[in-house]
Amino acid sequence: MWLSDRRTLLLAALALGACGFTPVYGPQGSGGTLVDSVLLPEPGRPESYLFNRRFEERLGRAPATAPYRLTLQLQTTEQGIGSTSAGSTTRFRVIGRAFYTLTDTATEAVLAEGRTNAFTGYSTTGSTVATLAAERDATERLMVLLADQVIDHLLLETAAEAG
């Protein structure tokens, strides 16, 4: 059984190589184009700071003279999704949206633009301190999700342009 699973994995890897698949961060991949090259907007809110922190963890911090600039608009909303028989909300869903545009700073040409959505949740059944910590954690997880999705979309766009 193990041998047949191994053969399937090797055949799948060969098939991907034969179809022109190139890893984004590989030697001929397009992922290196954006590393340390995307200037982010100054964070004006805690959510923006969390988004920028995750973006820079993955793609690095760009200098002021970066070849690309990301314009970003973040939106978050909360929705009560659980309640007790007395009407108290016991669980919230935090919904986030990121609208982004990647621009070439030299030509002001729009290279990529789009929108991404994600959501997380938290419980309010603990103490006030626990509820506030859960809310902060949910917001941080949401910004990580949104930043990862924006980065993935940008990497796919640059891969499509390069190939």
Does residue 66 form part of some domain?
Answer: yes
Residue 92 lies in a domain: yes
Residue 34 within a domain:
no
Instruction: Please check whether residue 121 lies inside any domain of the structure.
Output: yes
How is residue 40 written in tokens?
């982010």
At 61-77, the pLDDT tens digits run 999 999 999 999 999 99
Expressed as residue numbers, the domain containing 63 is 43-162
Are 138 and 131 spatial neighbours (Cβ–Cβ below 8 Å)?
no
Q: How many separate domains does the chain show?
A: 1
Query: How much is the CA Rg of the chain, to the nearest whole Å?
Result: 20
146 assigned to some structural domain: yes
Per-residue pLDDT at 1 exceeds 50? no
Residue 81 counted as domain residue:
yes
In a domain, residue 21? The reply is: no
The pTM score is 0.82
**Residue 119, number of CB atoms within 10 A of its CB:** 16
Which one is predicted more confidently, 123 or 25?
123
Does residue 115 lie in a domain region?
Answer: yes
The set of residues, in sequence order, having a beta carbon less than 8 Å from that of 25 and lying 6+ positions away, is: 31, 32
Q: What pLDDT digit, counting tens, does each position of 82-141 carry? A: 888 888 899 999 999 999 999 999 999 999 999 999 999 999 988 999 999 999 999 999
For residue 66, the domain's CATH number is 3.30.160.150
Question: What average pLDDT score do residues 129-154 get?
Answer: 97
> What pLDDT is stored for residue 158 in this prediction?
80
